[in-house]
A and B are shown apart, each in its own frame.
Chain A
Amino acid sequence: NAGVTQTPKFQVLKTGQSMTLQCAQDMNHNSMYWYRQDPGMGLRLIYYSASEGTTDKGEVPNGYNVSRLNKREFSLRLESAAPSQTSVYFCASRESSGNTIYFGEGSWLTVV
């Protein structure tokens, strides 16, 4: 009953460090998403992947890269972390014919 799994759950980075947030889903969904959540701003789309091998920029892609490694996994990389990237990051997935998006538990990232 795993659904969407994100790692790590918590991370503290220094400005300029890099890191990768991992996401995996076991629901055989084609579409996957990365969102960030900031106070008072709801969830904003960073990147979207419709299927293995395809990715598209969302509303706030600057400072991030993604990899859709296979159907199950969709990773988000911060190459040079900045304090403005302090946020809660959510991975989500959706089946092609479906309309409901399912979320992971979130990853809390603090950049100091």
Chain B
Amino acid sequence: AQTVTQSQPEMSVQEAETVTLSCTYDTSESDYYLFWYKQPPSRQMILVIRQEAYKQQNATENRFSVNFQKAAKSFSLKISDSQLGDAAMYFCASKITYKYIFGTGTRLKVLA
């Protein structure tokens, strides 16, 4: 069965500091995609970053980057220079064929 696990229910970071959110997944497929979505209090699901499993290079989007460890089935999200607007729930997700499997989320608090 495909699973996505986020073991950190809540994390805190000081404004301007760096924080890493953890995610592990389990699949026997070789072709899949991984995502991080941000959900602010408005509940809108916003795509933060995407990683194709066949790419060895880690994806980067401005202050957001991932550490993709395929052998370990690990996909962590690093947020640099944290801002107050980064405070939200963050969901890790995998896509295999048409299915998207989501983790249970990590609530990120940003302290001023």
Contacts and interface: CB of A to CB of B under 8 A. Distances in A.
A34 interface: no
B10 to A, nearest CB: 12
**Could you tell me the dominant secondary structure of chain B's interface residues?**
strand
B50 A40 contact: no
Contacts, number: 44
Given A42-B91, A88-B43, A90-B45, A101 B104 contact: no
A99 B104 contact: no
A109 interface: no
Contacts of A42: 4, 91, 102-105
Interface residues of A, number: 22
A100 interface: yes
Interface in A39-79: 40-45, 48, 50
Task: Give the size category of B's interface with A.
Answer: 10 to 19
**Could you tell me the dominant secondary structure of chain A's interface residues?**
strand
A27 to B, nearest CB: 14
B50 A99 contact: yes
Q: Which of B33, B91, B100, B104 has the most CB of A within 10 A?
A: B100
A77 B100 CA distance: 22
B102 A43 contact: yes
Given A43-B91, A100-B47, A105 B98 contact: no
Nearest to A90: B45
Given A88-B43, A103-B45, A45 B100 contact: yes
Interface in B11-35: 33, 35
Interface string B38-53: 0000111101001010
Interface of A: 31, 33, 35, 40-45, 48, 50, 88, 90, 92, 99-103, 105-106, 108
